[in-house]
Every structure is written in structure tokens, then in C-alpha cells.
Amino acid sequence: MPQPIAFVTRISPEEEQVWLAALRQAMPGERIESLSSLTREEREAVEIAIVANPDPADLKQLPSLVWIHGLWAGVERLVSELEDFDVPIVRLVDPQMSHTMAEAVLAWTYYLFRDMPAYARQQRDRLWAQLDYKRADETTVGLLGLGALGTAAAGRLKEGSFRVAGWSRTPKVLEGVESFSGEDGLNALLETSDILVCLVPLTPQTRGLIDAGRLARLKPGASLINFARGPIVVTADLLASLDSGHLAHAVLDVFDQEPLPAESPLWDRPDITILPHISAPTDRRTASAIVAGNIAIYRETGALPPTVDRARGY
Ligand code: NDP
């Protein structure tokens, strides 16, 4: 059997055991152990660590480490906490997660598109009023981010007959998606979007991306869905835009602080829908199979899957 694989986490012991079971089932030929179960000699030989919110000090106990496989899709915390620890990071790219996220984008787009927040308010006020119906093919959904998740979301939205536009760092050619990049491209995307969906990673470039100026560029009555990371949207600016009536509604799955504190003013707002970071949960079974596949290729060929570009931040 090759050197053991270290499982390095700061998740709860119960969750750690469930993950270990799933990973071991996916890799019967490997020995996967939590760090505390490895002897000093074994730690010194470890080449691969599977990580879920690891303590950087734990990883530093593995002097032969060649690469780290994360179990989450977002890597901003790994990149910032492992700034001075120069080991390649592989993040989770799982088609099942893309499918789940695309489903969530479609579900909450329909929620906004079919005026469900307004009808909920009308019901509360015992008000019978039919709002104008606007067709899906007259409604533009703007996707910030056309990566694994954004591309999958674009596909589902197109199936729903929505007009789809997307913005990415590098220009993209995607059938049926009007694609933009750069600052001018971002402005054009904002100006065309009825529903703006945030699916970019949190990096130094995207922190605070959706601020007062950019919200003002959206069409009056537009809505926002943030399924990426809280700090990409400036909360105070979001609230001001909702207060002014420029933005109609926001669906938020991610926040500056999670769990969202009970005293947060966001909870009480009828123009904000709060979700507890649930738009695309990691599927342990498919995630473990992806990790297993990547490790099998490494064992066979020494090749790593695409790694996180630390300078880019994702
Ligand atoms: P990818 O890396 O596959 O895609 C990221 C996209 O964002 C790419 O199109 C990239 O452009 C674009 N992008 C990055 N930086 C910029 C920038 N500065 N300007 C313009 N475009 C930019 O990531 P995923 O699609 O897999 O995931 C996106 C994020 O979703 C994750 O980082 C994570 O934070 C979040 N997430 C949230 C979950 C939830 O449950 N709420 C679950 C899973 C992920 P380019 O294509 O040119 O590189």
C-alpha cells in the first residue's frame, strides 16, 4: 500500500468520521487517516492531504506533502490561510455540484420572475391584484461568473427560455449566452440584467464588486441572487438600493458572517430572502469519487489535476 493520505480538517469529529467513511469507501486501495491517527514517521511520508477547512499548522506537520485536495469548491479561505505554504491546491470540481447549483439558480430565478415575493406580500395584506406577466424570453438573467457553476446555470436558464448573459475574467464563447468581460463588459451586463446572479469566487478583485455604483447600473426593479460569497456584495449598499426601491428583491445564500447572526437586520426584511448557505451542498458520495479519481491518476502518472492559481485567487 502507498503512503497514507492525511485527512486534515477543523470540522466536527462526527462530520470527520462521516467524510472518512465516504472517502475510504471511494478509495479501498488507499489508507486515509486523520492526522491524529498517524505516527510521526507516517506524517513525514505523507504526499497527499485531503482537507476540509484545515488548520495550516497541521499541514506544516507534513514535510513531504506534494499536494492538497480540498473538499469544497470555494478556496478563498485556503488561499489566504496557506499564503506562506507553497503546496499546490486542488479544489473540488464536481458535476453533481454544478447540477445542484444550476437547479438552485433556476428555482430562485423562477421565484423572482413569477413575482412570488410580491404575491406573498399581497396575500399577507389580503390584496387580490394581478401583476403584469413578462415572458421569460423577455427577461435577462445576468450571470457574474461563467465557470463550472455559471456555465451549468446558463444551460438550465436557457432551457427555461430566459435570455442569458454572462461575465467572466477571460472572454467566453457559449452558445446562446451573451458573454462579457472587463469593466465595460460588466457595466453592459448590469445594464441588461433583470435578475443578476453572483457566481464568481471571492478574490481581492471580487471583494466588494457589487457596490452602490454597480447596483445603480441595474434596471429599476431588478433583483439580485448571491450564491457565491457574502463579501462580494456590499451589504450596506444592497440595503440602500432596496430601501430606495431601485432593487426589488435579493435572494442571499451567503453572508459576511455565517451563520447570519440572529440580531442581523437582514432577517426582518420582506425584500430579502435568506437561505442558510444551501444552494449547492457538497455531495459526499460524488465528491469522494472525484477525489478518488484525481488521486488514482496521481498515483499512476504523477500528474496533478488543474490546481488553484494563487495569484489569481481561484
Ligand atoms: P470557477 O472557478 O469554475 O468559475 C469562476 C468564474 O468566475 C469564472 O468564469 C471566472 O472567469 C470568473 N471570475 C473570477 N474572477 C473574476 C473577475 N475578477 N472578474 C470576472 N470574472 C471573474 O468557480 P465555480 O463556478 O466552481 O464556483 C464559483 C464560486 O461559487 C466558488 O468560488 C464558491 O465561492 C461559490 N460556491 C457557492 C456554493 C454555495 O452553496 N453557496 C457552493 C459552491 C460554490 P474565467 O472563466 O475567465 O476564469
Check: complex ipTM more than 0.95:
yes
Q: How much is the pTM?
A: 0.97
173 and 300 in a single domain? The answer is no
Q: Residue 113 has which C-alpha cell?
A: 420572475
Weakly modelled stretches of the chain, pLDDT under 50: none
183 and 157 in a single domain? The answer is yes
Mutate to test the pocket of ligand 1, among 199, 226, 308 (most ligand atoms within 8 A of CB): 199
Q: Give the single-character DSSP code of 127.
A: -
139 and 262 in a single domain? The answer is yes
Exactly one of 277, 284, 299, 310 is catalytic; name it. Answer: 277
Mutate to test the pocket of ligand 1, among 79, 169, 173 (most ligand atoms within 8 A of CB): 169
Beta-bridge partner residues of 186: none
Active-site residue, 214 included: no
Q: How far apart are CA 314 and CA 311, in angstroms?
A: 8
Q: Which of 19, 14, 13, 41 is nearest to 32 (CA)?
A: 19
231 lines ligand 1 (CB under 6 A): no
Active-site residue, 277 included: yes
Q: Domain range holding 222? A: 97-274
Tell how far the Cα of 244 is from the centroid of ligand 1, in angstroms: 29
146 and 17 in a single domain? The answer is no
201 lines ligand 1 (CB under 6 A): yes
200 lines ligand 1 (CB under 6 A): yes
9 and 148 in a single domain? The answer is no
242 and 108 in a single domain? The answer is yes
Cis preceding-peptide flag for 54 (omega within 30 of 0): no
pLDDT of residue 2: 80
pLDDT tens column, 158-173: 999 999 999 999 999 9
pLDDT tens column, 235-291: 999 999 999 999 999 999 999 999 999 999 999 999 999 999 999 999 999 999 999
Which CATH number fits the domain that encloses residue 18?
3.40.50.720
